[in-house]
Amino acid sequence: MANLNAPPLHAATRPVTAVARYVASTLGLATFIGAWVAVTSLRLVPDTFLPSPLAVLAKIVELTHEPYAGSLLQAHLLASLHKFGVSYLLAVVVGVPLGLLMGRLRSVEWAISPLFELLRFIPPIAWVPFSILWFGTGFLAPTLVIFAGAFSPCVLNAYRGAKSIDKPLIEAAQTLGAKGWTMMSRVVLPAALPHIVAGLRVSAGFGWQSLIGAELIVGSTGLGYMIVQGESNLAPAVVIAGMVTIGVIGALIDYSMRALEDWIRRDWGH
């Protein structure tokens, strides 16, 4: 009868011991890296196609003290982060209040949502040509693209957050005389915060990806520019080194936003 008290088995699966999982995970990684090493060291593909993992590591180290495509790896990274930070902030500062307003005031919702629906289906990267025409090829060029990527998740989540607030909560605040700015800042914003922060995380991911896309096409600094230069110089080690950096930074951005989300969610008791 011990079985009756056993923990329920997971849906589809047989239980696997922790050791077996650990071994399998290590094996998986080993297969991946082993295949990479084998392919490159057995000369199955030329160096101009795929460099070995060691060569990529060496390249990353080299890039930190020898400039490539005009600057060091750190400088490219800082340039990318700078562009990302400015445009992302802009998208949040415009998008979140707009979303909250759309959630609270029906006339704003009715006025904005048709335009919003029209623009939503244009991939952010498709704004690159107009951003070149409007802002030139300088530092500002990717701003519009990042903004286009980060804006709509901000708006949508703030809107959903404002819509999902308990009616009694709003009514209670109204009974106590809250309206306008007080209502927005003291009731709506805090209540919608968990939704908003979830939107900020999605936005950050889209924004980062859009930035890289924009830098591939326009600009003369940044990680995207660096890997595109690596491509035209037939230097796959530089390209992969750049991709690794992009991946690590993307993961870090996602991780910190997730931490923020968890923290807010815990504090706001949702």
Partner 1 sequence: MAAYPNRQSTTSTRARRGASARRRVIAASCIAALLASWYLFTGPLGLITSIQFPSPQNAYDCIVQLIGPGYAGATLSRHVLDSTELVLLGFLAATLTGVPLGILMGWSRMAEAYLNPVFQIIRPIAPIAWIPLTILWFGLGTTAKIFVIWLAAFSPAAINSYTGVRNIDPVLIAAARVHGASTRRVLSQVVFPGALPTIFTGLRISLQACWMVLVAAELVGSFAGLGHIMIIATRDLNPGMIFVAMACVAILGVSLSVALARIERWAIPWRT
166 burial level (CB within 10 Å; 0-12, 13-18, 19+): exposed
* Closest to partner 1 by CB, 173 or 204: 204
Q: Which of 113, 139, 140, 202 is the binder for partner 1 (CB under 8 A)? A: 113
Rule CB under 8 A: say whether 89 interacts with partner 1.
no
CB of 176 to partner 1, least distance (A): 26
Residue 47, φ and ψ in degrees, nearest 5: -60, -30
Q: Restricting to residues 18-37, name those near partner 1 by CB under 8 A.
A: 20-22, 24-25, 27-29, 31-32
Contact in structure between 47 and 240 (CB atoms under 8 Å): no
The residue within the footprint of partner 1, chosen from 64, 251, 263, 267 (CB under 8 A), is 251
Minimum separation from the CB atom of position 151 to partner 1 (A): 15
Stretch of 56-64, 67-75, 116-124, 188-196 lying at the interface with partner 1 (CB under 8 A)? 116-124
The full DSSP string for 159-219 is HHHHHTS-HHHHHHHHHTT--HHHIIIIIIHHHHHHHHHHHHHHHHHHHHHHHHHHHHHS-
Q: Is 8 in the site for partner 1 (CB under 8 A)?
A: yes
Tokens 């802002």 belong to which residue?
Answer: 135
Q: Provide the residue type at 248 as one letter.
A: V
* Cβ distance to partner 1 smaller for residue 26 or 74: 26
Contact 186, 178 (CB under 8 A): yes
CB within 8 Å of 268: residues ≥ 6 apart? 190, 193, 194
- CA 40 – CA 43 distance, rounded (Å): 5
Give the residue, chosen from 95, 199, 213, 219, that forms a contact with partner 1 under the rule CB under 8 A. Answer: 213
The window from 55-63, 73-81, 88-96, 212-220 that contacts partner 1 (CB under 8 A) reads 212-220
Q: Taking CB under 8 A as the rule, does residue 259 contact partner 1?
A: no
Residues that bind partner 1 (CB under 8 A): 8-16, 20-22, 24-25, 27-29, 31-32, 48-49, 106-107, 110-115, 118, 121-126, 128-130, 132-134, 208-209, 212-213, 216-217, 223-224, 227-228, 230-231, 234, 236, 239-240, 242-244, 246-248, 250-251, 254
